[in-house]
Amino acid sequence: MASSQNPASFSTEASADPALFDLLVLGSGIAGLAAAGLARNDGKSVLVIDKGRRLGGRVSTRRQDGFVFNHGAQFVTAKGTEFVSLLAMAKTAGSIKDWQVSDNKIVQIGAPTMRDLPQFMATGLMIRQQTEIIQIAHHGEHIGFFDKDGLIATGHRAIITAPAAQTGKLLANIYPDLATTAGLASYDPCWTIMLGLDDDNGLGTAPLRDEAAGIALGVPEMTRAHQQSGLGAPALTIQASGAWSQQHLQDDPQMVIESLSKIWQDLSGKPLGKIITATAHRWLYAKVTSAVPDNAPRLSSDGKLAIAGDWLGGPRVEQAFDSGQQAYHNLR
For residues 256 and 192, give the distance between their C-alpha atoms in angstroms, rounded to a whole number: 9
| Residue with Cβ nearer ligand FAD (286 or 299) | 286
In whole angstroms, the minimum distance from the beta carbon of 45 to ligand FAD comes to: 19
From CA 29, how far away is CA 55, in angstroms rounded? Answer: 6
Closer CB to ligand FAD, 143 or 190, in the complex: 190
- Letter for the amino acid at 175? Y
Query: In angstroms, what is the minimal distance from the CB of 51 to ligand FAD?
Result: 4
Distance CA 293, CA 311 (A): 10
CB of 188 to ligand FAD, least distance (A): 9
Q: Binding residues for ligand FAD, per CB under 6 A?
A: 26-32, 49-52, 57-59, 72-76, 132-133, 161-163, 166, 190, 192, 239, 283, 286-287, 309-310, 315-317, 320
74 or 326: whose CB is closer to ligand FAD?
Answer: 74
If the CB atoms of residues 11 and 296 are measured against ligand FAD, the closer one turns out to be 296
Nearest approach, Cβ of residue 4 and ligand FAD (Å): 18
* 3-state secondary structure (DSSP) of residue 38: helix
Q: CB nearer to ligand FAD: give 142 or 287.
A: 287
Give the single-character DSSP code of 246: H
Q: What does 99-158 look like in DSSP terms, one character per residue? A: EEEETTEEEEEESSSTTHHHHHHTTT-EEE-S----EEEEETTEEEEEETTEEEEEEEEE
Smallest distance from ligand FAD to CB 16, Å: 27
